[in-house]
Copies of this chain bind each other. A is one copy, B any other.
Amino acid sequence: MNLLLLSPDDLINPQQAKIAGRQLQHIQQIYNSNVGDTLNIGLINGNMGNGTISYLGADHVIIDDIQLNTPPPPKLPITLLLALPRPKMLRRVFQTIATMGVSKLILINSYKVEKSFWQTPFLTTENITQQLLLGLEQAKDTVFPEVQFKKRFKPFVEDELPILCQSSQNYIAHLGDYLPCPSLPNQPITLAIGPEGGWIDYEVNKLTHLGFTPIQLGQRILRVETAVTALLTKLYY
C-alpha cells in the first residue's frame, strides 16, 4: 500500500478522515505509524496528496490536514479483452491491471475457458473492487478501471466488438510466427489475450476478420498475469 485510498464515506469533512479495517491494520502493522506521521492519501476517482495522523487507536485512525492537490497518473488508453483466467489467477490479474493503469477490462468467454470459472466468488463486484483497490494503492492511482463480463464469445464479437474497437488499433496476442508486439505509447489499443490453452482457430479467425492483428512475444509461454504485464509494458512503457 503506497497510497491510502479513501472513499467519500471515509471523510468526516474534506480535511479529515476516519479509517478502520484493513487500512488501519496496514497503518499499524506494516507502516508502524505513530500520531504525527504523514501518509500518502488519495480519494477514489479524485486527487492525491497527504494527511497527518491525529489519532491512532485499536478501532480506528483519524487523519487530519488532508491536502489533495496532485492528479492521479494518466491511464493507458487500452481496452483489454481477456479470456476469463482460472479463479486462482483472478485476484492477481485484477491487481495487476489496476496497478499497470489499464482503462477497461472485458473478461470474455473462450472455448478453452472452463464453464465453472464463471461461478467463482472472485467475480462478485465486492471482490473485484477490493482487488482493484489493492492494485491502485500499490501503483499510487485513484481511478478504477472499468470491468465488464461477456459470457458469450460469438454475440459479443459479432454485435458489440465492431463498434467498441472501431477507433483503436486492434491486436490479438497469440503464440506463433506473427509480428512481434509493437511499441505504441499513447495509442488507443484494443488487445485480446487468450486463455491458458490459447485461442482456437475459430476465435483467431473471428478477431482477425474484425481487423485484429496477431502479435507475439517470443517462444516462451507466459502465465496469463505475466503475459498481461509483458504485453502492456511492450505496448506502452
Contacts and interface: CB of A to CB of B under 8 A. Distances in A.
Instruction: List 10 A-B pairs, minimum CB-CB distance, nearest first.
Output: A139-B220, A230-B233, A229-B229, A233-B233, A2-B221, A73-B219, A226-B229, A217-B237, A233-B234, A229-B230
Interface of A: 2, 73, 95-96, 99-101, 138-141, 181, 217-223, 226, 229-230, 233-234, 237
A75 to B, nearest CB: 10
27 contacts: A73-B218, A73-B220, A95-B223, A99-B220, A99-B222, A99-B226, A100-B220, A101-B220, A138-B221, A138-B222, A138-B223, A139-B221, A139-B222, A140-B220, A181-B237, A217-B233, A217-B237, A218-B237, A226-B229, A229-B229, A229-B230, A229-B233, A230-B230, A230-B233, A230-B237, A233-B233, A233-B234
Nearest to A180: B237
Nearest to A232: B230
A135 to B, nearest CB: 9
A226 B100 contact: yes
A105 to B, nearest CB: 16
Contacts of A73: 218-220
- Interface class of chain A by DSSP: loop
Contacts of A218: 73, 237
A220 B96 contact: no
Contacts of A222: 99-100, 138-139
A223 B99 contact: yes
Which of A100, A141, A218 gathers most chain B CB within 10 Å? A218
A37 to B, nearest CB: 15
Contacts of A223: 95, 99, 138
A220 B100 CA distance: 7
A16 B166 CA distance: 53
Nearest to A95: B223
B99 A140 contact: no
Contact of A226 (B96, B140, B217): B96
A208 to B, nearest CB: 23
Nearest to A231: B233
A151 to B, nearest CB: 23
The interface centre, meaning the residue of A95, A181, A234 with most chain B CB atoms within 10 A of its CB, is A234
